[in-house]
Homo-oligomer: A and B are copies of this chain.
Amino acid sequence: MTKTHSTAATAPPAIHFDSEFAAKLASLFQDLIVFNQTLGLKITEVTHDGAKAWLPMRPELIGHPTHQRLHGGVISATLDALGGLAVMAAVGARHADEPADARLARFGKLGTIDLRIDYLRPAIGPSFTAEARVIRLGSRVGTTRMEFYDAQGRLLSTGAGAYICWRRPKTEPLLRVVPTQN
């Protein structure tokens, strides 16, 4: 059953970006981050608190000489990148009052603090999909959960990540005067 599947299963899913900002952000991740291109990552969805991607299998990504398995590092890199994209999407959604480019500029502040990946099943097949969702966005730290699936939708890996970000607190005034102790 799982050996035969139409080529439709390997075609990239339809694309959905919920705003101009989301589309620009997807392009930034997919086209300007060189290693994401090395992986062949295609961003297929960006919403106010999550992101999805599609990854076709290629020989460069193989991790086991006898099996044709995807390298675990491709999975960790994909889930790390997608978690970061989800956090940026959520930061952008919280600053809908800013122009898209100002929100994109916040990407300079984004960084992964740490990452956990659980490998559940061997990653074999013509293509894969991945998802990330922000489960909490604070003013300084965003936390995500991620999943990695094969072309039949079987869960292959899960992830959790913490990201440093910079979000203006809701209560922040237009001008702050901050005395510092000394």
A174 contacts the other chain (Cβ, under 8 Å)?
Answer: yes
A15 contacts the other chain (Cβ, under 8 Å)?
Answer: no
- Is the contact region of chain A dominated by helix, strand, or loop, or is it mixed? mixed
Interface size (A, Cβ < 8 Å)? Answer: 64
A4 contacts the other chain (Cβ, under 8 Å)?
Answer: no
Interface residues of A in 60-93 (CB under 8 A from B): 60-66, 71-74, 76-78, 80-81
Number of copies: 4
- Do A118 and B160 touch (CB < 8 A)? yes
A96 contacts across to B, CB distance below 8 A: none
A145 contacts across to B, CB distance below 8 A: 158
- Do B135 and A120 touch (CB < 8 A)? yes
Alpha-carbon gap, A64 to B145, bound state (A): 22
Contact pattern, A 107-148, Cβ under 8 Å of B = 1, otherwise 0: 010011111111111100000000000011000110101000
A35 contacts across to B, CB distance below 8 A: 60-63, 71, 73-74
- Do A176 and B174 touch (CB < 8 A)? no
Contact pattern, A 149-182, Cβ under 8 Å of B = 1, otherwise 0: 0000001001010101000100011111111111
Shortest distance between the CB of A109 and any CB in chain B (Å)? 11
